[in-house]
């Protein structure tokens, strides 16, 4: 074992940690479980695109009272220094995961022990409501305890700034520096001050839901389609607290909540992986939808910032839509509604991420609305909204990983609002005698059949992280000259901040923050993006391709052609496929 790892283990065994923690460490030592010890202690948990996230357990590289306490102490020190002379305020929420409530109380205690006022949700709440609460109560920061859609052994800690968005530069790195200054567990103030902790709940829910309702663009269509059949599953998470309520507030009267997945449970007993991107996680909801002949199926992840949907396709069968399809439909729906109201005045904008479908770019261009293409991570979308406040108005945005935002009262992806607007979109289509799938095919005929595919290669632990780094280095140092027989024309390296024309050798600067992402564009219009995940031990490859769709009747044929093209690309790049999308 490396000396640095052994030294960290010794610090935990000899330091001011509780006896239960020390006994668990000693048990690993006695069992000779070196692999677990190395993975638990070889580094400290770091902020990624989604904050702090990891497996629960003892150690510096695990989610526990001490790693969360150190992160909170560092954040508290940074907040107090940035807002000196003010009464600093934060909001805290948690999801349904095991230990989330206990971790949230640790966070509240550490903040209050540092003289910071805490607005503490009385029970589990969705992540987007935490973002809303920060803005509503004039907080300087906030924390939500969640690991989003990760497996049950994970938990996480998302840190937010005063605009209700997750930390971005320079605050993210500065907070990490403050955490690193904490050299001993005794530097963490664990004894809370209850007088600074204010419990919030239903009153905040009502404010939040009312703001969402104000954004509705088709109330008349909903009134006519109020009995539309909707099946909804919270997948044992926080969505159950507000999704049924927001649908009722919008006017939907026929909502069936999947009973087997309605109870919040951090063990996620009915699913392998609590992710609405997975067909397996949606299977119970789909069965219920078939039973009652529903119009729409929706499911949210445990912290209710992502939503997956299914609708009937051209064959009358339920089909899961991926994040790109739902995002394109939702953005088109909102832009069309705003255009009808003559509200597209030239100072509006929409947002997507660089790995999200280019169909959204075509739609935005057709409506004459400015599109910003940003790095993966909703914090960058929130950052653009903040940057343009008072100059341009944000309408809607989204990313391929099933996260969308309508309006700017929240500054993170919002599945509560998204569920309401997806249901409204379906009701609007039905009111016109069409299905949402019909509308998707209309988009493909008008703008081109854009299709995307995602594979994810998991590499766990220290060795896995090194393998992922090696893969990125290989692609960066030795990019392919062609992909699936089509010559490479452009390389975008977001780590170096350079876009290179492979044919001419011309280079130009990419005006975005640095990020370890590579994109390859070929002569035939294919697009391949490689990106190590910031929150999970995996590297993701995103593929995009386009074909003309002259008529809806050709959908199956062109769809099969694109699927085969993706498989050919994957084989040509020698990638092992582990799909995370249906």
Task: Respond yes or no on whether the N-terminal peptide bond of residue 499 is cis (omega within 30° of 0).
Answer: no
Strands 449-458, 318-321: parallel, antiparallel or unpaired by DSSP? unpaired
How many alpha carbons lie under 13 Å from residue 65 in its C-beta half-sphere? 16
Phi–psi pair at 393, nearest 5 degrees:
-105, 125
- In this structure, are residues 145 and 104 in contact, taking their beta carbons and an 8 Å threshold? yes
Find the helix or strand (DSSP H, E) in which 405 lies: strand 403-406
Backbone angles phi, psi at 538, to 5 degrees: -150, 160
H or E element that contains 143: strand 141-145
How far is 62 from 104, CA to CA, in rounded Å? 16
- The region that residue 39 occupies, defined by phi over 0 for left and psi between -120 and 50 for alpha, beta otherwise, is alpha
If phi over 0 gives left and psi between -120 and 50 gives alpha, with beta otherwise, what is residue 59? Answer: left
Query: Closest Cα partner for 569 from 532, 522, 531?
Result: 522
> For residue 48, what are the contacts with CB-CB under 8 A and spacing of at least 6?
533, 534, 535
Measured in residues, the chain has a length of 582
Please list the residues that pair with 297 across neighbouring strands: 231, 310
Name which of 121, 303, 119 is nearest 201 in CA terms.
121
Sign of CA dihedral 126, 131, 133, 134: positive
What separation in angstroms does the CA of 77 have from each of 46, 112, 163, 172, 292? 17, 12, 19, 13, 54
Instruction: Report which secondary-structure segment, H or E, holds 112.
Output: helix 100-113
Could you tell me the two tokens for 122? 């009385």
Calpha distance 144→100 (Å, rounded): 9
Instruction: State which H helix or E strand residue 434 sits in.
Output: none
Give CA–CA dist 174/404, Å, rounded.
Answer: 28
For the record, the structure tokens of 221 come out as 């269509």
What are the residue numbers of the active site?
148
Judge contact between 328 and 360, C-beta under 8 A.
yes
Task: Identify the three-state secondary structure at position 209.
Answer: helix
Phi, psi of 367 (to 5 degrees): -90, -5
Backbone φ/ψ region at 99: left (φ over 0), alpha (ψ -120 to 50), beta: left
Instruction: Give the residue from 189, 162, 169 showing the smallest Cα distance to 89.
Output: 162
């Amino acid at each position: 074992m490396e000396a640095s790892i052994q030294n960290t283990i010794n610090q935990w065994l000899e330091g001011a940690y509780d006896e239960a923690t020390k006994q668990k460490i000693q048990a690993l030592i006695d069992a000779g479980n070196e692999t677990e010890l190395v993975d638990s202690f070889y580094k400290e948990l770091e902020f990624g695109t989604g904050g702090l996230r990891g497996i629960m357990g003892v150690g510096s590289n695990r989610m526990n009272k001490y790693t969360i306490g150190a992160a909170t102490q560092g954040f508290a020190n940074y907040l107090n220094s940035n807002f000196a002379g003010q009464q600093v305020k934060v909001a805290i929420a948690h999801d349904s995961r095991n230990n989330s409530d206990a971790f949230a109380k640790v966070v509240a205690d550490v903040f209050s022990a540092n003289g910071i006022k805490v607005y503490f949700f009385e029970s589990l709440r969705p992540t987007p409501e935490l973002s809303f609460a920060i803005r509503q109560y004039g907080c300087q920061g906030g924390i939500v305890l969640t690991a989003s859609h990760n497996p049950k052994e994970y938990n996480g800690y998302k840190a937010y700034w005063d605009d209700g968005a997750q930390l971005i530069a320079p605050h993210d790195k500065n907070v990490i520096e403050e955490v690193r200054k904490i050299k001993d567990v005794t530097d963490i103030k664990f004894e809370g001050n209850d007088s600074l902790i204010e419990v919030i709940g239903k009153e905040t829910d009502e404010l939040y839901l009312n703001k969402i309702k104000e954004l509705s663009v088709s109330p008349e269509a909903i009134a006519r389609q109020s009995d539309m059949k909707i099946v909804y599953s919270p997948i044992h998470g926080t969505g159950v607290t507000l999704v049924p309520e927001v649908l009722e507030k919008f006017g939907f009267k026929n909502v069936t909540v999947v009973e087997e997945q309605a109870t919040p449970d951090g063990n996620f007993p009915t699913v392998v992986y609590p992710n609405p991107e997975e067909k397996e996680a949606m299977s119970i909801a789909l069965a219920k939808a078939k039973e009652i002949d529903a119009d729409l199926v929706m499911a949210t992840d445990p912290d209710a910032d992502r939503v997956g949907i299914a609708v009937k396709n051209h064959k009358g069968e339920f089909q899961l839509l991926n994040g790109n399809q739902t995002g394109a439909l939702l953005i088109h729906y909102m832009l069309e509604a705003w255009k009808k109201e003559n509200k597209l005045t030239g100072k509006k904008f929409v947002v997507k991420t660089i790995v999200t479908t280019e169909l959204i770019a075509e739609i935005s261009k057709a409506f004459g609305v400015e599109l910003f293409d940003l790095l993966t991570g909703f914090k960058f979308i929130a950052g653009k909204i903040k940057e343009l406040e008072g100059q341009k108005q944000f309408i809607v945005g989204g990313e391929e990983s099933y996260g969308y935002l309508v309006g700017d009262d929240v500054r993170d992806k919002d599945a509560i609002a998204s569920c309401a607007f997806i249901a409204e979109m379906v009701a609007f289509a039905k009111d016109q005698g069409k299905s949402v799938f019909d509308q998707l095919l209309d988009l493909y005929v008008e703008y081109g059949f854009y299709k995307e595919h995602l594979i994810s290669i998991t590499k766990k632990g220290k060795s896995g992280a090194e393998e992922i780094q090696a893969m990125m280095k290989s692609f960066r140092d030795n990019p392919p000259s062609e992909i699936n027989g089509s010559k490479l024309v452009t390389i975008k390296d977001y780590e170096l901040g350079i876009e290179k024309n492979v044919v001419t050798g011309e280079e130009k600067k990419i005006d975005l923050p640095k990020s370890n992402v590579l994109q390859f564009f070929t002569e035939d219009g294919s697009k391949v993006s490689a990106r190590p995940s910031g929150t999970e031990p995996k590297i993701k490859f995103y593929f995009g391709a386009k074909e003309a769709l002259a008529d809806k009747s050709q959908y199956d044929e062109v769809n099969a052609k694109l699927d085969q093209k993706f498989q050919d690309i994957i084989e040509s790049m020698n990638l092992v496929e582990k799909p995370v999308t249906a």
